[in-house]
């Protein structure tokens, strides 16, 4: 096994960002376990040894990809949760913020969906477990408030609704492409219309 070199202090933030974006696409396409440092280096057009100039391991790369994504996600979510919005407006804002994050970090979202459970078993990635708990609390709490104030149906299964909303939002990372026909805000609007108002006309 080759000795891994420590990243050098002269590794520029711009170059690191470029390499992380490349690594994220490779991880999303191939999976973490199947991806080697050489795969990432090949995709970046460089030698594997040169990649160690910037990162000490592929674990460090996926750690930075996921932590950067989650930090930005929670910056947006926390702003929504602190705004004192009514439950329906809070759900609308959370969904819109989610689609914006898919637009900004599509590959990271795909990695999170595929790898979070496996990675969370490692001490280094304990923050994934905490983030999932926080995510669940935010959504369940908002839905519960909506039932309590009659914004949502009284017979709503809160946990089932949460799982449906969560899964149908984040699966968009599998097909969404930045710069496409619809903006993340427009996709969120259409999605919310279907979730909150249904797709059938009243008879």
Please tell me the predicted confidence (pLDDT) of residue 178: 80
Please tell me the predicted confidence (pLDDT) of residue 11: 65
Residues of the chain where predicted confidence (pLDDT) is lower than 50:
1-9
The residues, ordered by sequence, that sit 6+ positions from 165 with a Cβ below 8 Å of its Cβ are 91, 95, 139, 195
Question: What would you report as the CA-atom Rg of the chain, rounded to the nearest whole angstrom?
Answer: 19
pTM of the model: 0.86
Residue from 20, 167, 188, 28 nearest 94 by CA: 188
What is the per-residue DSSP string for 83-117? TT--HHHHHHHHHHHHHHHHHH-HHHHHHHHHHHH
> Cα separation of 35 and 131, whole Å?
25
Please tell me the predicted confidence (pLDDT) of residue 10: 52
Question: Tokens for 37?
Answer: 């440092």
Please tell me the predicted confidence (pLDDT) of residue 179: 80
Q: Residue 67, Cβ neighbours under 10 Å: how many?
A: 15
């Amino acid at each position: 096994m080759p000795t891994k070199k420590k990243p050098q202090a002269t590794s520029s933030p711009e170059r690191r960002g470029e390499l992380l974006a490349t690594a994220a696409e490779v991880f999303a396409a191939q999976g973490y376990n199947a991806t080697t440092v050489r795969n990432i280096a090949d995709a970046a057009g460089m030698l594997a040894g040169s990649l160690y100039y910037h990162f000490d391991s592929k674990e460090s790369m996926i750690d930075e990809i996921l932590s950067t994504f989650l930090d930005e996600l929670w910056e947006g979510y926390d702003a929504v949760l602190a705004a004192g919005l009514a439950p329906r407006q809070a759900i609308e804002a959370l969904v819109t913020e989610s689609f914006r994050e898919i637009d900004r970090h599509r590959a990271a979202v795909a990695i999170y969906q595929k790898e979070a459970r496996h990675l969370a078993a490692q001490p280094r990635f304990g923050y994934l477990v905490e983030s999932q708990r926080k995510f669940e609390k935010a959504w369940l709490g908002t839905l519960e408030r909506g039932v309590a104030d009659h914004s949502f149906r009284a017979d709503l299964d809160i946990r089932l609704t949460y799982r449906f909303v969560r899964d149908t939002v984040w699966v968009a990372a599998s097909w969404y492409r930045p710069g496409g026909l619809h903006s993340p805000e427009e996709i969120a609007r259409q999605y919310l219309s279907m979730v909150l108002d249904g797709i059938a006309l009243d008879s």
